[in-house]
Amino acid sequence: MFRKKDTAESRQLMEGIELTTLVHGEKTLMGQFKIARGSAIPAHSHPHEQTGFMISGKVRFNVDGEIVDVETGDSWCLPGNVEHSAEALEDSVVIEVFSPVREDYL
């Protein structure tokens, strides 16, 4: 599957957090998240492995009680079923890949 940059649609997941699903296949989904400074993703877990790259900005992750500040150029991989949350310390743009596909992000 290919998708041109001007054909992807964005949607607001919650206040200050916008998702653009870029592309997906049978086993993975890649999305771009724009997260406004001060916005937070509450603690949650899901069965999907979550691999990410910080395009710009700074986000504080809490992964199973471990606090990590992620900045431009940093990357991560969170295993499935691990509780995590995030708070944007700056306006941020993140690319994340989920496996298996997150049906709720289609």
CATH 3.30.1280.10 assigned to domain 11-105? The reply is: no
Other Cβ atoms closer than 10 A to 20: 17
CA 28 – CA 90 distance, rounded (Å): 28
pTM: 0.94
C-alpha torsion sign, points 37, 8, 48, 97: negative
Note down pLDDT in tens along the chain; length 106 residues.
899 988 889 999 999 999 999 999 999 999 999 999 999 999 999 999 999 999 999 999 999 999 999 999 999 999 999 999 999 999 999 999 999 999 999 9
